[in-house]
Structure formats: structure tokens, C-alpha cells
Amino acid sequence: MSSHDRLLRVGMVGYAFMGAAHSQAWRTVNRVYDLPARVRMALVCGRDEPKVAAAADRLGWAGYTTDWRRLVESDDVDVVDVCTPGDSHCEITLAALAAGKHVLCEKPLANSVDEAREMVAAAERARADGVRAMCGFNYRRVPAVALMRRFVADGRLGEIRHVRAVYLQDWIVDPQFPLVWRLQKDRAGSGALGDIGAHIIDLTQYVTGRRISGVSALTETFVKERPLPAGSSGLAAQAGGNGHGTGPVTVDDAAVFVARLEGGVLATYEASRFATGRKNALRVEVNGSRGTLVFDLERLNELEFYDADRPVTEQGFSRILVTEPEHPYLAAWWPPGHLIGYEHSFTHQMRDFVEAVASGTDPTPSFADALQVQLVLDAVTRSAERGAWTEVEPVLA
Ligand code: SOE
């Protein structure tokens, strides 16, 4: 089937940072990949009419609405892309699935395990009618990360012993940075833990193919009160509020935990928005009996590999330049040796999603995979509260 045979009309709810990243990917995906369906950017939704109209124009959407229910129910929409804060993921997704729309929902899937379970159940019901659902953990689609998973699956690391994962940012180090939605539990569910910790939880479970089975955690909110925001939101907000008082920060600023993965793997995780100087630093190291792999987002076109099978005189870390057509996702991009960036991970995500929807297969990460991450987030929170080791239950017991 050629990409002209089938049209997938997308409606996206939310158009801020993630909405812009998704828009860029929807715009690009058919230009790079030969897919069994053609994407049409049909409708974008936001609450503020002048702003959403401007966003539609800037980001390339054919139309806009201020009512997400209208978008979800529109006959001109086949796929609903949920890019809103976590407090509306569940409601929008349930309505979209009930309306027979395929759903791509940003991470973390929900603000609670209960909501995530409801979403999994709804996705399972809709699947019987051919409806597909996926959660947007974009870092899985960085070619070096996909290659890392391939190496582990091929046994190149031998027995996996350790996982060491950090995701560090510093955008709220200034105590005058305002109380944006990401710092409010009722909107975001949790802080650094759910926002960036969720990425390294998903990424390490994906790369190793093993589930986190238990955790012992510490969380901290370093700045407990912040100025109320002047209007701009998320990471785009400038330091300093509107001068009308302060409010409590109700999420964690940082979370650290040790964990066990299935099969006896010992792991450490750190997610912080207070790592001064670290802007968006995600690093994962996996040690096995036959080697080590290291991925660093700041050098996302590379993978470090220590191969203990090489003669001792040749051992040492080598740098694999993940830029070749033989590497995951890259054949469609540039000639060998040419680099890609952050936004490509979203284009790859849309490629996989469109392929799955158009070919009637299940995209990953599924909502069940995302629930597994949510269960870890929940266990970390409870462990930190209780000061005790906390088991993580498996989704598919
Ligand atoms: C904010 O911390 C954020 O935009 C996350 O929400 C994204 O998932 C991450 O990719 C970059 O940082």
C-alpha cells in the first residue's frame, strides 16, 4: 500500500513545548519515511482562542478549536494526540477511545495508578474494534538507545548486573522561579520524579527488557514556596512571579532511589531539577558480565561500548558513531556520518505509531508498559514517605 492510499487525520490537544515537538514530527514524518498512511494535521486544541489560532498557523495545523470534546468527537479526526498537563490525560484519552479514535498520549501516562489502570482497560476495550493506543516515551526512539537495546537483547553484555541512570535539569534552581503547573501536584501528579524520572524508568526497562521489581527512595522539595506565576507556563516561564504573593510547591524537586530489576540487577536512579548547570542531562549506563554500554543524551549520536570479549591488549571504551544507515531509524535520513538531534526522536515515534495504526498492529510503549512505569513512580513516592523498601507489582502478573 502506498502512503497515498490511507489518510490519518490527527487532532492534537495542547500546543506548548511537547505540542510543538509533536507538530514538528507530524509535519516531517511522511517527508522522511515511506509509510502506509499519510498524516494530515487536521485540528489543534487550546483554551485561549487567539493563542491557539496563532499556534495552528505557526505549527502547521489546518484548523483549531478551544473545545477538546469537539476535537475528540470530530468526524475529521482519526488520531488524538494528547499533549496536555497530566491532570487531563485520563479524561481526554477515555473520551477519545470511546469515540473510536487512536490515541498517542504523552508521558507520564497519568497522574495516578488508578487513572493509568482505567486508561489501560479502556485501551483494551477499544482494541477489539481495531483502535490503537501508545504512550509517548520519545527517548526510546533515539537511534543509540534502540541500538543499546539491540546489543543487550543479542547478549553482547552477557549477564546484566548494574543499571545507573540519571536525568538532571536545573530550571527551577532560582527560588524566584514561579509556581508553574509542573510544580503543582494536582496538575502534574509529581515533580522531577514523574516528569523526567519516568523517562529513565521507561528507558532502562526498555533497554534491559527487565522490570523494576522494588525500590527504596528519597525525595525532597528544596524550595517549598514560590511566587505565583504571571501567566506563562512550564519551562518557558521567566524567573519572578506577578507580585501577587506566593504558593506552596506540592511536588518533589528531586528523587533518588535504588532499585532491583528482575534477574538480580542492582540499579540506581536520580531525577532532579536542582542539578545546577545540568540543563537536560540524561545518562544511562548498563554493566554486564561481558561488557558495558553508556548512553548520554548530550552526545546522542554516540554509544560508548566496552567489550570485555576483546583481547586484553585491545580493551577499553570505544565510541560507536550511531549515524549509519544500518542503525535503527537512520537509513531514511542523511548520508553516513551525518548527525541528528532531539526532535528526531519524535519523528521516529510518529513513524512507529503511524506504521502500527496503518498496519493494524500494537504500537509500543503500550498503555500497559506506561502503567508499569506509573507503578514504579507510585512505589518511589510511597517508599520515600514510609522510609522503607517498597515492592513494585507487575502489570501482567
Ligand atoms: C520538562 O522537564 C521536560 O520538557 C519533560 O517534560 C520532557 O519529557 C523532557 O523530554 C524534557 O524536559
Taking only the tens place, the pLDDT of each residue in 49-98 is: 999 999 999 999 999 999 999 999 999 999 999 999 999 999 999 999 99
Confidence of residue 5 (pLDDT cuts 50, 70, 90): confident
Cβ of 235 closer than 6 Å to ligand 1, yes or no, is yes
- Using CA atoms, how far apart are residues 271 and 191, in angstroms rounded to an integer? 9
Residue 173 lies in a domain: yes
**Whether the predicted pLDDT of 290 surpasses 80:** yes
Confirm if 145 and 139 have CB atoms less than 8 A apart. yes
Confidence of residue 27 (pLDDT cuts 50, 70, 90): very high
> If you measure from the C-alpha of residue 192 to the centroid of ligand 1, how many angstroms do you get, rounded to a whole number?
9
The CA-atom distances, in angstroms, between 92 and each of 72, 73, 106, 326 are: 8, 11, 12, 39
Residue 28 lies in a domain: yes
Are residues 129 and 159 located together in one domain of the fold? Answer: no
Average pLDDT for 116-126: 98
CATH number at residue 224: 3.30.360.10
Residue 48 lies in a domain: yes
pLDDT of residue 319: 98
- Final residue before a domain boundary, out of 113, 138, 163: 138
Residues 310-329 have pLDDT tens digits of 999 999 999 999 999 999 99
- Final residue before a domain boundary, out of 68, 103, 138: 138
pLDDT of residue 382: 98
- Final residue before a domain boundary, out of 138, 164, 182: 138
Are residues 332 and 214 located together in one domain of the fold? Answer: yes
What's the predicted TM-score (pTM) here? 0.96
Are residues 134 and 147 located together in one domain of the fold? Answer: no
Query: What proportion of the chain, given as a percentage, has pLDDT over 70?
Result: 95
Are residues 95 and 228 located together in one domain of the fold? Answer: no
Cβ neighbours, 10 Å, residue 47: 11
- Using CA atoms, how far apart are residues 218 and 270, in angstroms rounded to an integer? 10
Average pLDDT for 284-305: 98
> If you measure from the C-alpha of residue 66 to the centroid of ligand 1, how many angstroms do you get, rounded to a whole number?
24
Are residues 223 and 239 located together in one domain of the fold? Answer: yes
Average pLDDT for 171-186: 97
DSSP category for residue 238: P
pLDDT of residue 43: 98
Average pLDDT for 365-382: 98
> If you measure from the C-alpha of residue 18 to the centroid of ligand 1, how many angstroms do you get, rounded to a whole number?
8
**Whether the predicted pLDDT of 244 surpasses 90:** no
Confirm if 288 and 278 have CB atoms less than 8 A apart. no
- Using CA atoms, how far apart are residues 320 and 305, in angstroms rounded to an integer? 7
Average pLDDT for 333-346: 98
**How many CA atoms, within 13 angstroms, populate the side-chain half-sphere of residue 211?**
18
pLDDT of residue 1: 46
- Using CA atoms, how far apart are residues 368 and 127, in angstroms rounded to an integer? 13
User: DSSP labels for 196-236?
Assistant: IIHHHHHHHHHHHT--EEEEEEEEE-S--EEEPP-S--GGG
User: DSSP labels for 79-103?
Assistant: EEEE-S-GGGHHHHHHHHHHTT-EE
DSSP category for residue 396: -
**Whether the predicted pLDDT of 240 surpasses 70:** no
Are residues 18 and 149 located together in one domain of the fold? Answer: no
Indicate the number of domains in the chain.
2
Q: Which atom of ligand 1 is nearest to the CA of 342?
A: 10
> If you measure from the C-alpha of residue 349 to the centroid of ligand 1, how many angstroms do you get, rounded to a whole number?
16
Residue 376 lies in a domain: no
The grid cell for 115 is: 487513572
Are residues 280 and 163 located together in one domain of the fold? Answer: yes
Are residues 124 and 37 located together in one domain of the fold? Answer: yes
Are residues 176 and 272 located together in one domain of the fold? Answer: yes
Torsion of CA 201, 207, 212, 217, to 10 degrees: -40
Q: Which atom of ligand 1 is nearest to the CA of 18?
A: 4
Cβ neighbours, 10 Å, residue 76: 12
Are residues 223 and 287 located together in one domain of the fold? Answer: yes
pLDDT of residue 241: 57
Residue 392 lies in a domain: no
Residue 366 lies in a domain: no
Residue 372 lies in a domain: no
Confidence of residue 351 (pLDDT cuts 50, 70, 90): very high
Confidence of residue 397 (pLDDT cuts 50, 70, 90): low
**Gap between the terminal Cα atoms of the chain:** 39
Cβ of 202 closer than 6 Å to ligand 1, yes or no, is no
Q: Which atom of ligand 1 is nearest to the CA of 106?
A: 8
- Using CA atoms, how far apart are residues 290 and 285, in angstroms rounded to an integer? 14
Angle value at C-alpha 144, between 143 and 145, nearest 5 degrees = 90
Are residues 159 and 280 located together in one domain of the fold? Answer: yes
Helices (H) and strands (E) in the chain, counts: 11, 17
Residue 163 lies in a domain: yes
CATH number at residue 75: 3.40.50.720
User: Which conformational region is residue 193 in: left (phi greater than 0), alpha (psi within -120 to 50 degrees), or beta?
Assistant: alpha
- What is the C-alpha R_g of the chain? 21
> If you measure from the C-alpha of residue 312 to the centroid of ligand 1, how many angstroms do you get, rounded to a whole number?
41
Are residues 147 and 134 located together in one domain of the fold? Answer: no
Confidence of residue 190 (pLDDT cuts 50, 70, 90): very high
Query: Mean pLDDT across the chain, nearest whole number?
Result: 96
Domain that holds residue 220: 143-299+301-340
